[in-house]
A and B are shown apart, each in its own frame.
Chain A
Amino acid sequence: MKEYVWRPMYVVVLIAALSLAVRFFLLPHDFGVHEGGYKYGYYRLGNIAEWESRPALFRSADDCGDCHRQSESLSASPHAFISCQNCHGPAAGHPEDPPTLAIDTGRDLCLRCHADLSYPAGGRDAVPGIDPLGHHPFRSCVGCHDPHHPRQEVQP
């Protein structure tokens, strides 16, 4: 072929080689097509490990029992099925640094389940409910009701 045909070809090949070289050095080597194919599996593989290595803030459900013996009365309590860390938590730094464990005794926390909706509303029906504005409004619930033993009244 004539020289003038080849000359632009060299330029094209050079540009392609350059962009491939730049891509090689700039892209992480684990970036590419993985399991799942080009459609769903085109990503940086190392990112999975990054997400998996995130520290967990809530401890395992049975971790509390390692140190805190659950009393027999608590396991019989209607509140026994609630995770400890819903009110005492999250417990990420707890055993090492006990004061960091926040305890929420707020009225709003109780009302999440115990505010009565006057119509049938799924799982709420099975929970005893009050009218938040009619039942001692703005008073703290835990002053009268023991959150661990809700059927027993707190002795003043």
Chain B
Amino acid sequence: MNRRTFLKDAIVVITGAALPAAALEWLDPRQVLAENPQIRWAFLVDTHKCAGCGFCVKACKAENDIPYEASVTRTWIERYVVTQSGELLADSPQGGRDGFTSGSIDLPGGTRVSEEEIIRGFFVPKLCNHCASPPCVQVCPVGATYATPQGVVLVDRQWCIGCGYCIMGCPYGARFFHPVHKSVDKCTLCTHRLTRGDASACVEACPFGARQVGNLHDPNDPVTRAVVSERIGVLRDSYGSRPRVYYLGLSKEVH
């Protein structure tokens, strides 16, 4: 054996030995999926159905121990109206906690737009988008907020130092400082209910079926079917956060 063949054979042997057995295994996608029954939660909002009753906000506050009187909430409803002059206005008094019972809109600064000036309106429920690339998680300096393997973005109350970077980093304004627990708080998608097989509190409370929560890895889930086959939109797509709250009937005015 001369030097050339020795080196050639050595390269073949080393490469072969370095190759793990797993790399040569043939994987059937269906088998992999059945062995790992993964869950990837997603949320679907049908803005056509929302009537602005605010039962979702009320239920969320009760379920998740958010002070009712404090002006913080994990989910909220925005009302968008168009006036006769074509102006677009939006409001969300107390996050829509008590519903929208008055047709007029109070703008910041004390001006009131009366009901007669408004020609159309609609409601957009909002919550944490549980982004696939959450900007709020990237900016946390202590690892107190994270995305779970099931796609829920959570805050570790014990670990949070309350610096507020994530509140600033969230493009959707979905985070706030919890006045009682003294840590950053946000929608958990009611993880504690989902693991027990129940829907999120806001989903259960919505009388009009405007809110749904579902598993994107289940092709028969109504949410997955809607995401795949309906015309859906997401909020602030340009931020690259890949939100997982999908909207049916999202108007171009909403951002």
Is there an interface contact between A118 and B207, defined as CB atoms closer than 8 Å?
A: no
B63 touches A48 (CB 8 A): no
With an 8 Å Cβ cutoff, the count of chain A residues facing the other chain is: 45
Which of B99, B115, B146 is close to A119, meaning CB atoms less than 8 Å apart?
Answer: B115
Out of A47, A85, A116, A126, which one reaches B159, CB within 8 Å?
A47
Report how far A111 CA is from B49 CA in the complex, Å: 17
Which residues 182-196 of B have a CB within 8 angstroms of A? 188, 190-193, 195-196
B197 cross-chain contacts in A, Cβ below 8 A: 60
| Residues in A neighbouring B198, C-beta threshold 8 A | 56, 58, 60-61
Tell me if A11 is interfacial: C-beta within 8 Å of chain B: no
**Interface majority SS on B: helix, strand, loop or mixed?**
loop
Closest residue of chain B to A59 (Cβ to Cβ) is B198
Taken together as a complex, chains A and B put the C-alpha atoms of A145 and B95 apart, in Å, by 29
Report the bound CA distance from A85 to B206 in whole Å: 11
Known pairs A52-B191, A56-B63, A58-B201. 11 more at Cβ < 8 A? A41-B147, A42-B146, A43-B159, A47-B159, A83-B204, A90-B59, A111-B99, A112-B55, A117-B115, A119-B81, A123-B208
A: residues with CB less than 8 A from B are: 31, 34-36, 39-44, 47-48, 51-58, 60-61, 81-83, 85-86, 90, 108, 111-113, 115-124, 126-127, 132
Give the interface of B toward A (CB within 8 A): 47-55, 59, 62-63, 79, 81, 98-103, 115-116, 118-123, 133-134, 137-138, 143-149, 154, 156, 158-159, 188, 190-193, 195-199, 201, 204-205, 207-210
